[in-house]
A and B are shown apart, each in its own frame.
Chain A
Amino acid sequence: MSAPAAPMFTPAARQIAERLGLRPGRANLEVFADTLLELARADRQVLAVTSDSRGSGKLAPFGQALPQQIVEVGIAEQNLVGIAAGLAAAGKNVFAVSPACFLTARSLEQIKNDVAYSDNAVTLVGISAGVSYGALGSTHHSLHDLAALRAINNLDIVVPADNAETRWAVRFAAAAQHPVYLRFGKAPQYDLHRDELSARRGESIVLRRGSDIALVATGEAVTHAVLAAEELAVRDGVSSTVISVPFIRPLDTTAIVAAAGCGALITIEEHMVHGGLGEACAAVLLEAAVRVRFRRIGIPDEYTVTGSQADIFRHYGISMEGISATARALLGGATSRSSVA
């Protein structure tokens, strides 16, 4: 008999969420599927292409509603991306949907050549990304995808945090005339935005403004940063800026440099610490000659411990408690703003 999965948020974190008035939302995956169906109903050029991933992509309702607009290629991710490129070359608005771990590793050459280099405006949708598959293990984790895809020219990389960011990102990708990679997980998220977004390509979103430390996060790590900022304020009197960075590329360098004005900056991502948001921010700050105390939170250079997504997050400090602890250490054990000079 298996043990019940640990919840993503501890009782203390849930209390902080309540204090912030955060409402529980849905899984970004479900919001993606609903938004895509809505777009496809309005435009028959919108297609979903799947590699036996209709169920895991929550696209069964799409397939039932619009059977002429879904293309199934079987368990063949290379072919998935190649076919998607061909469909896009013929003018279709293609969303190629597959677990991020397979899509961005097995099909990497197709992404590079057939989509990005040939400039076919495919939206590559990496579902169940990061460690969403938890205890299924490292074959099913995508902790390399941001690093791999950042090194491929002509590909926007978009990692929405919550449902509103996901809705916005899917619409953005559908309207884009160039290749886009969308990445999200399958666990329910808190709603971080009260309203629909009206962002521009490459824009990050400042969720909280503070002066002691900046928490710069992407994807499903953003919620934990939001909670940590409130906990740091309540417990330690630390004032935090929190930025959601949906665009890993193009990166909002202006916002990152501005955030470093806090004097301390932590990046948080559901990705290996190599090659993702943290290293991208480090490069920006170094080239801008910004002096800032700096830490990256993510998965270190190892295959993860066994456990659920929540277990793995907590193990590597991608949690309210973990982020707060890293912030305190970075601020030199300071417990109030006045002592953080």
Chain B
Amino acid sequence: MTEPAFMSSAAEDFTALALKSLQYRRHLLEIIKHAGAGHTGGGLSCIDILNVLYNRILNVTPGNFSDPHRDRYVQSKGHCVEALYVVLADRGFFPASELQTLCQYRSHFVGHPTRKVPGVEQNTGALGHGLSICVGLALAARMDQSPSRIMTLLGDGELAEGSNWEAAMAAAHYGLGNLTAIVDCNTLQITGRTRDVCSNEPLDAKFGAFGWDVQSVDGHDLTALADVLSRPAQPNKPRLVIAHTIKGRGVSFMEDVGKWHHGVPNDAEYAQALAEIDGAMAQIAAVA
């Protein structure tokens, strides 16, 4: 696998990456506030993962998006689309200003991922679809002897959809070492704690028993995420990365609170959220 041109091994870049995560959080809140709709909590739980994927791992740029050998990312937990849009805008797939139209009449920025938006691989939003699509993409890449790596992001609540387990079986059956599924394991879904709604624990043992290489990581630790996602694949084993995250991460009153699943902050909450993020950015700038 050749490293993408933008890849830098410099350690100081992780400071820049941490700053990016905060900028993404800010932008995500801005567009959700402007649209008056969005999946705030899950967006904040998966934004660090997307940051690392698009800035450190995936060989996907606006310039190579029609290259059949590009890496592919399919966001199975499509409801956290704002996080994806924000990162794609930053990577230059479209001007960030276009996100002001999110969910507006005739906008192509639909409230779930759509290929109308440059950089989006597949239309998702109904849960339990991304992993099967990725099994197909990974099979095709192997048939074509392509270096393309296939990655998807699942929610822990999403894993109640049985189609995921059909795909998990098939991925192991075909020994798809070029496939990585990341679980944004924020332990909350719209009704409450995933373990209370319909427990799927222990996830690691379940996927392990299905024949996957299972890794766990702090889903907000950028260095650890980059490390686990850039490790060479085990031969003929699909990889599951359980990213332990906090729903609403980065905004104190949203963290681990279920109502922010698709809560939109009021003006005072919005001001406080931005102040917290700006404060965190100032801290990083002061240290750097």
Q: Mark A residues whose CB is within 8 Å of B.
A: 68, 71, 73-74, 76, 78-79, 81-92, 109-110, 113-114, 117-120
* Closest beta carbon of chain A to B135's beta carbon, Å: 5
Q: Is B133 an interface residue (CB 8 A)?
A: yes
Which of A76, A85, A114 meets B166, CB within 8 Å? A76
User: Which of A73, A92, A113 is within 8 Å of B129, CB to CB?
Assistant: A113
Report the bound CA distance from A83 to B163 in whole Å.
Answer: 11
Q: Are A90 and B124 in contact (CB under 8 A)?
A: no
User: With an 8 A cutoff between CB atoms, is B30 at the interface?
Assistant: no
B115 x A90 contact (CB < 8 A): no
Known: A85-B133, A87-B139. A113 touches B126 (CB 8 A): yes
Q: For chain B, which range describes its interface: under 10, 10 to 19, 20 to 34, or 35 or more residues?
A: 20 to 34
Closest chain B residue to A110, Cβ basis:
B129
Contact residues of B between 102 and 143, Cβ < 8 Å to A:
115, 121-126, 128-129, 131-141, 143
Task: Closest A residue to B124 by CB, please name it.
Answer: A113
Pick from A74, A76, A86, A119: contact of B136, CB below 8 A. Answer: A86
Mostly, the A contact residues are helix
- CB distance B144 to A113 under 8 Å? no
Chain A residue nearest in CB terms to B150: A86
Question: What 1/0 flags go to B165-205 for Cβ under 8 Å of A?
Answer: 01101100100000000000000000000000000000000
A83–B135 touching, CB < 8 Å:
yes
- Do residues B68 and A86 form an inter-chain contact, with CB atoms below 8 A? no
The 5 closest A-B pairs by CB, nearest first: A86-B136, A82-B132, A90-B140, A79-B166, A76-B166
* B136/A87 in contact, CB under 8 A: yes
Query: How long is the Cα–Cα vector from A90 to B142 in the complex, in angstroms?
Result: 11
B74's nearest neighbour on chain A, judged by CB, is A86
Inter-subunit contact B123/A86 (CB<8 Å): no
Interface SS of chain B? helix
In the complex with contacts A113-B124, A118-B122, A74-B134 CB distance below 8 A: no
B133–chain A nearest beta-carbon distance, Å: 4
B138 partner residues in chain A, CB cutoff 8 A: 86
CA–CA, A171 and B182, complex, Å: 39
- Indicate with 1 or 0, residue by residue over B134-160, a CB within 8 angstroms of chain A CB atoms: 111111110110000000000000000
* Contact A78 to B140, CB < 8 A, known contacts A90-B68, A114-B133, A118-B115: no
The residue that B170 contacts in the complex, of A73, A81, A118, with Cβ under 8 A, is: A73
Q: Note all chain A residues with C-beta closer than 8 A to B139.
A: 71, 83, 86-87
Residues facing A in B214-261 (CB within 8 A) are none
Could you tell me the distance in whole angstroms from the C-beta of B209 to the nearest C-beta in chain A? Answer: 17
A79 touches B132 (CB 8 A): yes
Is the beta-carbon distance between A83 and B133 smaller than 8 angstroms? yes
Known: A73-B170, A113-B123. A82 touches B140 (CB 8 A): no
CB nearest to B161 among chain A residues: A78
State which of A71, A83, A88, A118 has its C-beta within 8 Å of the C-beta of B132: A83
Identify the interface centre among A73, A86, A109, A117: most chain B CB within 10 Å of its CB.
A86
User: Bound state CA distance, A319 and B173, in angstroms?
Assistant: 47
Q: Could you say which of A87, A89, A92 contacts B122, with CB atoms under 8 Å apart?
A: A89
A residues near B137, Cβ cutoff 8 Å = 86-87, 89-90
B132 touches A78 (CB 8 A): yes
Given the known interface contacts A87-B140, A113-B123, A118-B123, the answer about A74 and B170 at a Cβ–Cβ threshold of 8 Å is yes
